[in-house]
Amino acid sequence: MPQARSDWISGADWAGAWRAGAAGEDYVSEPLPPISDSVQAESDAQTKFVQQNLRRIFLLIYRIVGNVDDAQDLTQETFIKALQRKSQLKDLEKAGHWLSRIAANTAIDYLRRNKKLAFTDVAELSDSRMSNAENPEQTLLRGERKLHLDGGLATLTERERMALLLRDVEDMPADEVASQMNCSMATVRSHIANARIKFRRYLEARRPL
């Protein structure tokens, strides 16, 4: 099990994020708690904010960079940036989406700097019967079906995986995804369409006969 990267993100918090990745736990976004003028209250609120969002951000970054140690470092970097920029957040109800954008930018910048394209699985996720939903791959990504999520993501190219995660998991508008990935809307739509086709084929190949 990975070790904590800092004292302010505790070993217990990292252990929870690790278990969430191994179990395919649902993505749950928690709002940023109000920050008081009191130093102690602000410290408590920041700790709560990190603890409530740690698992989701760790999983998002991990599934972009594909390496646990890198994901831990980048998760910590994401929270440092978010807490430094908290004055930029005007609507507390949108804190989850705002934090996801910071996380995605941090992970994408890391990949660009290091040209790391590899993707590795944390662990095999639990099996489940596929539903008859119209878009089973999107249902799966939203945490409602945990049918070999990492295995399906591993069939995608880095760009396809990134586009699918940002659009279908983080609910990012397509134009924002294009901005994050530094490409055109047409390219993003192509990546997402290709990713969904590959995901559908992956799931159908594992559908019980």
pLDDT digits (tens, 9 = 90+) for 131-182: 333 454 554 444 434 445 667 777 888 888 888 888 887 778 888 888 878 8
Position 5 confidence tier, pLDDT thresholds 50, 70, 90: very low
Per-residue pLDDT, averaged over 202-207, amounts to 77
Phi first, then psi: give them for residue 136, nearest 5 degrees: -60, -30
Domain 11-114 has CATH 3.40.50.11240: no
Q: Using the structure block, give the residue that is written with the tokens 């799931």.
A: 203
Q: Where in the chain is the domain with CATH 1.10.1740.10?
A: 11-114
d(CA 123, CA 24): 9
Q: Where in the chain is the domain with CATH 1.10.10.10?
A: 136-205
CA angle 15, 148, 67 (to 5 degrees): 45
d(CA 190, CA 200): 15
d(CA 137, CA 131): 10
List, for residues 90-130, the tens digit of each pLDDT value. 777 777 888 888 898 898 888 878 755 433 333 322 232 23
pTM equals 0.56
Confidence at residue 133, expressed as pLDDT on a 0 to 100 scale: 39
Smallest CA-to-CA distance from 124 within 159, 165, 154 is with 154
Q: Which fold has domain 136-205?
A: Arc Repressor Mutant, subunit A (1.10.10)
d(CA 50, CA 80): 10
